[in-house]
Structure 1
Amino acid sequence: MEPDAISTLYREYSGYPTPISAFVTANDYMALLNGTSFTLIAEWSQSETFQGTRLHYAQQWTLIQNYSKETDIDIQPPSPCSLLHGELLSSYSLSGDLKAVVRETSGQFAGQQFLEVWSNSSLKKIIHLTALNKHGRVYEDAQFGCLAWSTCESRLLYVAEGKRSIGESYTSASSPSAGESTARPLGSPSEKDRSMYWEDWGEGLTSKSVPVLCVADVAKGTVTVLQGVPSHVSPGQALWAHDGECVFFVGWWHEPFRLGLRFCSNRRSALFCLDLEGNCECLSGDTSSVSSPRLSPDGRYLVYLEGQVFGPHSQCLTMQQVKLSFQRLSESLPLLHLPVSGAFHAGLTARLMYSTFSGPSCRLTLAIIQLAYINKYIVNINRHALIDCSAYKAPTSHLWLKTQSSQDERVMNFWSSAVHLKIAVAFLPLAGGEGEVSWDPLGESCLRGAIVNVLDIIPTPQEENPEYSGLDFGALLVTSNHLPSRTKVPLVVFIHGGPHSQFFAEWNVTTAVLVKLGFAVLMVNYRGSTGFGQDSILSLAGNIGSQDVKDVQRAVLTALADQTAEKLLTLDPDKVVVMGGSHGGFLACHLIGQYPDFYKACAVRNPVINAATLLGTSDIVDWRYSCVGLQYSYDQLPTPEALTTMLQKSPISYAPQIKSPVLLMLGGKDRRVSPHQGLELYRSLKSRGSPVRLLWFAEDAHSLARVDTQADCFLNVVLWFQQHLHLH
């Protein structure tokens, strides 16, 4: 296929909108009493490749409850889409009467930030945050950021960057050496401090260094920076207590120095309560990692996730529960080590960030990773009951949207497979009837004629991990059923990064377009992927470059061998290519080095090539030790033995054996895996005359997430594979 046709197809599929959040409210007082008519407002994100931007827009539906059956919904046609310009954060009040927006302007006031409060009919209040000069930029990220209404709907809580120099109204913690005071004295900064280095929280959180909790008084138009946060922690994920007299927040330790926080649930942190007078109390233990606090509607319970510090950066977590009247801590959902067939088995992950309490009944909705799926559950925290209410059977995934709803119990669900998107809404039945949830679709997009097969793969006895035996893993094989019978199809082996992440049976634009172009795609979840229990995650430590490499190769051989006479197509063993990013790129480069005659081409994004040289440049230096089976501490210094181990487990050791043509795609601002990693392989291959091409995206980072970058990468990957598979 010609480049223009490939780009057109990618533009079409990448333009499918993705739901971000939703809010449901009664339309009027009588509707609230009768429970008959509601308005649902959903916000969406959509990639627009012509301009290289992501559009953010809103859409409304009217929902009418059926009297004959309370869970049935009559959905009226949606309103036209409304583009949202410059919205960084938004939040509806509990009553649904007010909407708060943090907006960043363009044009004459470019870069200025405002806090707006809207009613159903007009703008009620605007606060020029930049002009007030109480703090720096508002945090809009999912790690720290929040925008929370108090129950009285008169105040808003958010997180912003603290001010660092004087002339300003308060002091904030800096980044001192170990043992040095974190207090920064008032007074004009001296000349010697002009070029002082300020740490931040690493990849994806660049320039976010010293967060502070801020409260805006809507009526007065004032902003107060809350005092009393311990100087050794950075606050975020804050929410109001039920009485509005204090706030809860997660505090991450930033002493003796900050480690990268994005995608890392293993950072030392604790749950705190801070009153408006500046008195702060720790509600959890202080030797673990916590996240995602949620307050029950009656204000009696606070639940959150808890995990270990260091080790794998994404692990199975426990759900903890605090009864606030007694400050009694208990465990709601335990950590799961091994999958248990037919039961909740895979352990909680950071996906709980998308959960919410629904209505007054203290039922918590959450998404749980299980094997290749994200399934929907409801937890009754009073009874510690866990109910599966996934709308569709495998191979699909479900993700609760952040649906805000105070009086009502309305939930919104984002459902997808690897080639299918659907958004649906439901009324929750009374407690005990959650298994009978009836989902009504609001819209869908899909790739017609594609099939998703889930493979369960068992390692051979020689590939078993003696410390964690009996572990299997999985893969998703996505193929087209619109090709002529017995067609030989080239296979793209697609490997996720992390390594402790996963390919879910959810919408993946790369996979969908590759299948449309005539490829089959094998998405491998090797041992160490999330969704298979804690033992699977722990099994990879010390075994990178061997166990995970063998798992991917075993998955490929399994897929190639699974060819029956009834199949409409056959995977072509002579046309297998491999692609991946980060740790997926690490594995792809290992595969073409360890199996040099098997893969006909390779495409990698920001790959780890030499773990030894990465040690001093990555924002997650702890993982560079943990992944090779070594313990980490903040005062760790490299040893010859440690560096040797890292080098031996790196793809660069196999560079002389590589025969496959390699396409490298590197982000110039990557702080997780330095782009110089890819350059090491590039130079090694160039020196040996091996085919290699390098794309350098100077303004992009580790995820290569810019819209124009993603489109450029996809086009180049397809053309690279077509060239070296001799496809016309």
Structure 2
Amino acid sequence: MTIVDSSELYCELSSIPSFSDARFITSDSATTTGDGDTGASTIRVTSSVVDHLRNTRRSLVKHIITTSSGSFITPAQDASDAVSSFVSSTGSLVAVLRETQGQNGEEKRFVEVWKENSLQAIADVTKIHGSFYTDAAFSSSSFSPSESALCYTAEENSPETEENDKSFDKMRFRPLMGETYKERKRPGIFIMRWGEEIYQAKKSKFSSKDIPSRIILSTLVKKLAHPVLPGAPVFGQAVFKSDTVLYATGYEKTSDDRFLGLYACGNRPSGIWAITLPTDDYEAVDDKGVQTIKVVSMKKISPDDQACRSPRIVKDKMLVWLSMERGGPHLSCSRLDSFDFDTGHARTLVDTVAEPLVLPDSLSPGIGQDLFCGLFVDQLPMQPLLVLDGESYILTHATCTHYNALYLIALSDGTVRRLHLDDGGVEYSWSILCTDSFNRFVCRRSKSNAPGELFLGTLTSLKSSPTLKFLDKPKLSPKLERLLSDVSIDVIYNPDPNLKHVETIVLRSSVHAEGEGPKPCIFMPHGGPHGAYTIDFSSMYISFVLAGYTLALPNYTGSLGYGEKNVKALIGKCGTLDVKDCVDAVDLLVQKGYANRGKGSLFVYGGSHGGFLAGHLIGQHPSIFSAAVMSNPVTAAGDMIATTDIPDWCYAEFGQEYPPPVVKDADGSVQSKLALYATLQEASPIAHVNAVQAPVLLLIGEQDQRVPPSQGKNYYHALRQRKKIADMLYFPGNGHSLEQVESSRLAFEAAVYWFGKFK
């Protein structure tokens, strides 16, 4: 297949809409038919789609109306200027955060509140703050219980001057959160109110001729201003408990006034805070500046030794959130904590799981063992509550070995149950998008050769299995349907009983010419190192398969989804144990006939820590791979300490203390740091660069804050100095993940071209 053909398939695959969010607008849970199906529901579904022509990602919104007799889907509407939207708890109101352009091309920002097709309130917030925060770590999307206010997160305006005309204050250094936040200003929580009180307060400030419309002037947007405390956190993920009480995640600085990089790092200093607002803040907007709400009180309710995130209020009785140990692995097994509003007591509902557990209870008896490997999940669903047999439960998904599974967690005692769904005997990976807070939920399933499909689930009792109703799936071309149907999915395990956590997902086309041996194999270790491959659909992975390669996705020691003990087993052994697991996985691929050895048979592709492993594999085992592609790789951990947004990673993953202690000699002089530097360099791919034989292509993002571009550039120059075959592509404006649409496509095309040269 030519590069052009591969690129066209990649564009078609990456343009498949992906279901990113769903919310119940209405749900008649009281109506239940005899077969377990339920009455009418209206579900607002958001999809994300890549637009290669415009070189951007677009957002599409549609509504699905489902009844016991069938479903109706409204045409998808382009909502690209709506950067975020969320629904009130009753489903009657929808908030839309919109970023658009004015007539002269200037940026404009609006907050809108809709009830069905009627605009209830709108506020122009262009001058009040900067862009909205919509990422999972900071985004706030909550209506107050009275549905007369909402909160969201946006960039605070930079101060122009401070007291006494300190004009230089606008140049003051203000630490941010590293990767993905380089161009972002400090986040702040903003509260918008509307209603008669606001209207009357504003009406008294203007003459009638100055009031263009009641709807415009009946809103008030204010920034939450909390007391300035030593080491005061930056807040996000705010949710209303009452009209005057918020709960939010507070991200804290380290002792050296640093915010450690937050992206893909759940172990950051952070806590859950209760924030009390004044009972009356309805005064009119002051045109001279942004109005603020002076916080009455703030109190952290989570333990100081835990890193916390994802607060969710359930039934106005309890707050739940995810937490994990501070420091150590950047991603690991979470626990589920709770806070009872009536008693004021906090407790742990689901603790950290050391090794996979076989659950004693199941919603589908007779299916077999129900594994629970721990809460390996980034965030809880925004609407996670289900009520069954009079008891309340949290419904979430979590990574379990090589797939995501659904779990019910009892709020009374933390009992965990695996929720089995009827998949026709085919293994899928499942995720939960939302519930109706009664007995229905919207979930998504996919597998490596099948894009995401949307289902409505209904649970009537713990004694019965859930029923599923198909809602929607993307429409594929007949050619793509045929190609995907020819892709097989296999999972192979290390035969050593002590290494049952080491597994490899193998994707390959089942179409073979007669007498044809295994196709060239791309071995692709994941990053992190505490990440995990699942059988979820990935357009990039399938694109490599359809370009004529077998793709091997290994989960080595330290991967998520096999308990906390497995995560910590890699600490201090990066560059040795993970490399050994990968080499063993390659041997097993060859032994089982998925790959051959020899020229043009095996290639390696890795990004971040996956690039670290790719560098080790071609350096420590130079005869295995015919070529390598390394995307923003860690190549010299010792050199990275001073320039990465996660300096703690360079210490913690290699078994070193962070921050490093000050060690003194007998005469009182401080010891040199050269020993530590040498340890980190020796554990890095740069230590083996002399032995590299495979041609290397480096893909480097200019704006990468996680793994600085110097890591890839220095490795490139080291290879060229030694007369090795090496090339490098440099992507302006891109960060660690080469996230821009064109950059992602070009990176794929370059990899296919590079491997094709050395077949």
- 2:657 aligns with 631
Residue 272 in 1 paired to residue 306 in 2?
Answer: no
Matches within 5 A, 1:403-482: 403=434, 405=436, 408-433=438-463, 435-444=465-474, 447-458=484-495, 472-482=501-511
Alignment-mate amino acid for residue 263 of structure 2 = R
Q: Which runs of 5+ in 2 are unaligned?
A: 199-218, 279-295, 359-368, 664-671
Between the aligned partners of 2:500 and 2:39, the Cα distance in structure 1 is 50
Matches within 5 A, 1:110-121: 110-121=106-117
Alignment-mate amino acid for residue 629 of structure 1 = G
- The answer on whether the counterparts of 1:387 and 1:435 sit within 8 Å (CA) in structure 2 is no
- The answer on whether the counterparts of 1:583 and 1:607 sit within 8 Å (CA) in structure 2 is yes
- 1:88 aligns with 83
- 2:154 aligns with 160
- 1:373 aligns with 403
1:573 Cα shift?
5.2
Is 514-523 or 350-359 further displaced after alignment?
350-359
| Pair 1:610–1:233, CA change in 2 (3 A) | same
What is the aligned counterpart of 2:631 among 605, 618, 633? 605
- The answer on whether the counterparts of 1:26 and 1:35 sit within 8 Å (CA) in structure 2 is no
Alignment-mate amino acid for residue 474 of structure 1 = E
| Pair 1:355–1:493, CA change in 2 (3 A) | farther
Between the aligned partners of 1:562 and 1:3, the Cα distance in structure 2 is 30
1:634 Cα shift?
7.7
Alignment-mate amino acid for residue 253 of structure 1 = E
Residue 483 in 1 paired to residue 512 in 2?
Answer: yes
1:238 Cα shift?
0.9
- The answer on whether the counterparts of 1:149 and 1:156 sit within 8 Å (CA) in structure 2 is yes
- The answer on whether the counterparts of 1:283 and 1:327 sit within 8 Å (CA) in structure 2 is no
- 1:175 aligns with none
Between the aligned partners of 1:207 and 1:541, the Cα distance in structure 2 is 32
Between the aligned partners of 1:591 and 1:348, the Cα distance in structure 2 is 31
1:499 Cα shift?
0.7
| Pair 1:85–1:123, CA change in 2 (3 A) | farther
1:229 Cα shift?
5.5
Between the aligned partners of 2:31 and 2:146, the Cα distance in structure 1 is 22
- 2:226 aligns with 228
- 1:262 aligns with 263
- 2:362 aligns with none
Alignment-mate amino acid for residue 510 of structure 1 = M
Instruction: Describe the SS at the equivalent of 2:694.
Output: coil
- 1:171 aligns with none
1:383 Cα shift?
4.3
- The answer on whether the counterparts of 2:157 and 2:185 sit within 8 Å (CA) in structure 1 is no
1:437-460: per-residue Cα shift (whole Å, max 9, x none)?
334252256611111111121559
1:571 Cα shift?
4.7
- The answer on whether the counterparts of 1:422 and 1:442 sit within 8 Å (CA) in structure 2 is no
Instruction: Describe the SS at the equivalent of 2:163.
Output: coil
1:590-648: per-residue Cα shift (whole Å, max 9, x none)?
10111111100101110001111111100000111011110102877981121011000
Instruction: Describe the SS at the equivalent of 1:518.
Output: coil
- 2:301 aligns with 283
Is 610-619 or 47-56 further displaced after alignment?
47-56
Between the aligned partners of 1:194 and 1:542, the Cα distance in structure 2 is 42
1:231-282: per-residue Cα shift (whole Å, max 9, x none)?
32111111010x3220001111124321101111111111111111321122
| Pair 1:146–1:485, CA change in 2 (3 A) | farther
Residue 535 in 1 paired to residue 562 in 2?
Answer: no
- 1:351 aligns with 378
Instruction: Describe the SS at the equivalent of 1:312.
Output: coil
1:191 Cα shift?
3.8
1:28 Cα shift?
8.9
Between the aligned partners of 1:140 and 1:635, the Cα distance in structure 2 is 38
- 1:250 aligns with 249
1:75 Cα shift?
3.3
What is the aligned counterpart of 2:756 among 715, 722, 728? 722
Alignment-mate amino acid for residue 202 of structure 1 = G
Is 429-438 or 47-56 further displaced after alignment?
429-438
| Pair 1:588–1:97, CA change in 2 (3 A) | same
| Pair 1:367–1:703, CA change in 2 (3 A) | same
Between the aligned partners of 2:192 and 2:450, the Cα distance in structure 1 is 42
Residue 42 in 1 paired to residue 45 in 2?
Answer: yes
1:357 Cα shift?
2.4
1:413 Cα shift?
1.3
Alignment-mate amino acid for residue 537 of structure 2 = W
Residue 320 in 1 paired to residue 357 in 2?
Answer: no
Paired residues, number: 680
Matches within 5 A, 1:645-684: 645-684=679-718
What is the aligned counterpart of 1:104 among 99, 106, 120? 99
1:331 Cα shift?
1.5
- 1:693 aligns with 727
Is 259-268 or 112-121 further displaced after alignment?
112-121
- 2:414 aligns with 384
Instruction: Describe the SS at the equivalent of 2:520.
Output: strand
Alignment-mate amino acid for residue 221 of structure 2 = V
Between the aligned partners of 1:229 and 1:89, the Cα distance in structure 2 is 29
- The answer on whether the counterparts of 1:652 and 1:681 sit within 8 Å (CA) in structure 2 is yes
Instruction: Describe the SS at the equivalent of 2:131.
Output: coil
1:109 Cα shift?
5.1
1:496 Cα shift?
0.8
1:379 Cα shift?
1.6
- 1:14 aligns with 14
- The answer on whether the counterparts of 1:390 and 1:398 sit within 8 Å (CA) in structure 2 is no
- 2:549 aligns with 519
Between the aligned partners of 2:622 and 2:393, the Cα distance in structure 1 is 53
1:503 Cα shift?
0.8
Between the aligned partners of 2:456 and 2:413, the Cα distance in structure 1 is 23
Between the aligned partners of 2:451 and 2:318, the Cα distance in structure 1 is 35
Instruction: Describe the SS at the equivalent of 1:624.
Output: helix
1:38 Cα shift?
1.9
| Pair 1:450–1:192, CA change in 2 (3 A) | same
Instruction: Describe the SS at the equivalent of 1:25.
Output: strand
Between the aligned partners of 2:43 and 2:645, the Cα distance in structure 1 is 41
Is 425-434 or 110-119 further displaced after alignment?
425-434
Between the aligned partners of 1:32 and 1:156, the Cα distance in structure 2 is 33
- The answer on whether the counterparts of 2:29 and 2:39 sit within 8 Å (CA) in structure 1 is no
1:53 Cα shift?
0.8
> What root-mean-square deviation, in Å, do the aligned CA atoms of Structure 1 and Structure 2 show?
2.4
Instruction: Describe the SS at the equivalent of 2:110.
Output: strand
- 1:63 aligns with 66
Q: Percent identity?
A: 25
Instruction: Describe the SS at the equivalent of 2:235.
Output: strand
Is 203-212 or 640-649 further displaced after alignment?
203-212
- The answer on whether the counterparts of 1:487 and 1:570 sit within 8 Å (CA) in structure 2 is no
Between the aligned partners of 2:59 and 2:718, the Cα distance in structure 1 is 43
What TM-score, normalized to structure 2? 0.85
1:35 Cα shift?
6.0
Instruction: Describe the SS at the equivalent of 1:388.
Output: strand
Is 615-624 or 158-167 further displaced after alignment?
158-167
- The answer on whether the counterparts of 1:655 and 1:684 sit within 8 Å (CA) in structure 2 is yes
- 2:140 aligns with 146
Between the aligned partners of 1:661 and 1:603, the Cα distance in structure 2 is 9
Instruction: Describe the SS at the equivalent of 1:438.
Output: strand
- 1:400 aligns with 432
1:200 Cα shift?
0.7
Residue 594 in 1 paired to residue 611 in 2?
Answer: no
1:292 Cα shift?
1.0
What TM-score, normalized to structure 1? 0.89
What is the aligned counterpart of 1:124 among 120, 143, 154? 120
1:432 Cα shift?
1.1
- The answer on whether the counterparts of 1:24 and 1:38 sit within 8 Å (CA) in structure 2 is yes
